[in-house]
Chain A
């Protein structure tokens, strides 16, 4: 008796779903229009600039392209950029998880203020982001005399570039995780703890699997921005060729030397790097799904 009504209900539900699929989908014309608008927008704002970069990069031929990206100065710039990214991204990822944990799992006064502080680096002009580190660690800065006396270099050397990059990319991971963890709530963690799991175990086996993709996404954006940051780094780098030039600064130098093809060759390499990280993400997502 009970079973039959259940089946009946299920079948009516199925029928309903079939008749309602139209109501769950937009009319075809709207679907096409929206897709076209989105694609046209992306074409004008992203694809065309990208195409123009690649065309300029290969304008003088493949030889010039490869000469540009294997030039010692270019290699030094690539190496420096990778070092900066390797320091920046893990630090900001750990920070992002910590901040998201504090801001979503607990309630406390001043929460909004702290959240806004985390957002603030997005709103600071890159020029200013670089300048503040000069004002702190430059020779006229707050710690300038002390650093000079101890012969420690922060600005116009690697630490300064790293600091500026950390500043600019600080909110990405946190910003990606906070809305996600907010919707997930705290019930799963509470259950795990009350079953006797330690805090760390709870985080590792309960929270982390839930926020995995958000974390990954935040890391990718953070990584992309760390590779591409120009304004702030330009202020603290000192522009010493082959030593403190990151890839964006190297591009600027080439461009200013009228080596347009070489400049855009390095730029195209950077865009490939950015797209590559996304492909990696897709592969991992696909593998984890199939397993």
Chain B
């Protein structure tokens, strides 16, 4: 791995390359790579066919569908509403704005189990919100989407917010002075600036939603084939002392998330290079 990282330019003015990179690599290796490698090591104890059997088990496959589709929808919901919230918080004035701004971080601070319990009590058929609907929200995939939207919200808002703050008014003025109306300015000038941030926010929210366990088990109903999420399958295997099976499913999730994050980082890097250089 270290052989891969060779500085492109030998002439560097800014100091600290070796120190900062060395520290980063060490920290990441010790605290991320070493622990995560254990998942692969434990999966190795399975034969290839056993591994395939476990990860293609109908219940596991059904759970991937549930997990991916709900995480995707929750991610998209967060993109739409997260961007609107960030926009409103940066651009408009309204009462209690400071407090509302602070509340956005709540999903990070609240233990996921508490979030799950609170959301279930609201959206259950006899809950404050659930009673107004003549279909069930909690204990269906809808409930999972709600929990996942909740836990992923800060990612989008908090990545879009600083970028929005940094867009200088001059650019918008220039666009307006060239005769663009507001919608055109937004589409042609503001949105392109926001896209990388929105993309990052989406990928982080989606990745986190994929792995979420604590809040979902309360609201999902956990019915096999219908509302059973992949992390629950992992728990099920662990309860049966089946470490190899659990890590096999974990490998599937880990590889998927890695590819997703890597692709999005790559897209952003390419986009940056095109614009900057």
CA distance A170 to B115 in the complex (A): 22
Number of interface residues of A (CB under 8 A): 110
Counting chain A CB atoms within 10 Å of each CB, the highest count among B5, B105, B260 belongs to B105
* Nearest-Cβ distance from residue B226 to partner chain A, whole angstroms: 20
CA distance A200 to B201 in the complex (A): 32
CB neighbours of A141 from chain B (8 A): 38
Which residue from B5, B15, B153 sits with its C-beta under 8 Å from A193? B15
Q: Which residues of B20-59 have CB atoms within 8 Å of chain A's CB atoms? A: 20-21, 23-25, 27-28, 31-36, 38-39, 41-42
Residue B191 lies at the interface, judged by CB distance under 8 Å to chain A: no
CB neighbours of A163 from chain B (8 A): 31
Chain B: CB-nearest residue to A178: B200
Residue A72 lies at the interface, judged by CB distance under 8 Å to chain B: no
Per-position binary interface string of chain A over residues 15-40, scored 1 when its CB falls under 8 Å from any chain B CB and 0 otherwise: 01100100111110001001101110
Number of interface residues of B (CB under 8 A): 114
Does more than half of chain B's interface fall in helix, strand or loop, or is it mixed? helix
Per-position binary interface string of chain B over residues 64-106, scored 1 when its CB falls under 8 Å from any chain A CB and 0 otherwise: 0000000000000000010011011100101000111111111
| Known contacts A34-B84, A34-B92, A267-B114; is-contact A127 B235 (Cβ 8 Å) | yes
CB neighbours of B41 from chain A (8 A): 135
Q: Which residues of B86-144 have CB atoms within 8 Å of chain A's CB atoms? A: 87-89, 92, 94, 98-115, 117-119, 121-122, 128-129
CA distance A203 to B14 in the complex (A): 10
Per-position binary interface string of chain B over residues 234-248, scored 1 when its CB falls under 8 Å from any chain A CB and 0 otherwise: 110010000100110
Question: CB within 8 Å of A: which residues of B?
Answer: 1, 4-9, 12-17, 19-21, 23-25, 27-28, 31-36, 38-39, 41-42, 81, 84-85, 87-89, 92, 94, 98-115, 117-119, 121-122, 128-129, 146, 149-150, 153-154, 158-159, 162-163, 166, 169, 172-173, 176-177, 180-182, 185, 196-197, 200, 204, 207-208, 210-214, 230-231, 234-235, 238, 243, 246-247, 250, 253-254, 257-258, 260-262, 265-266, 269, 272
A-B contacts, 19 of them at CB < 8 A, read: A17-B173, A42-B104, A46-B106, A101-B20, A106-B7, A106-B17, A107-B7, A108-B5, A120-B32, A120-B36, A122-B207, A123-B260, A126-B212, A132-B38, A170-B27, A224-B108, A234-B214, A251-B111, A274-B105
Given contacts A42-B85, A98-B19, 8 further A-B contacts (CB under 8 A): A49-B122, A114-B5, A122-B207, A142-B38, A166-B31, A170-B27, A228-B111, A234-B214
- The 7 A-B residue pairs with the shortest CB-CB distance, nearest first, are A274-B109, A125-B211, A123-B257, A248-B111, A199-B15, A123-B207, A278-B102
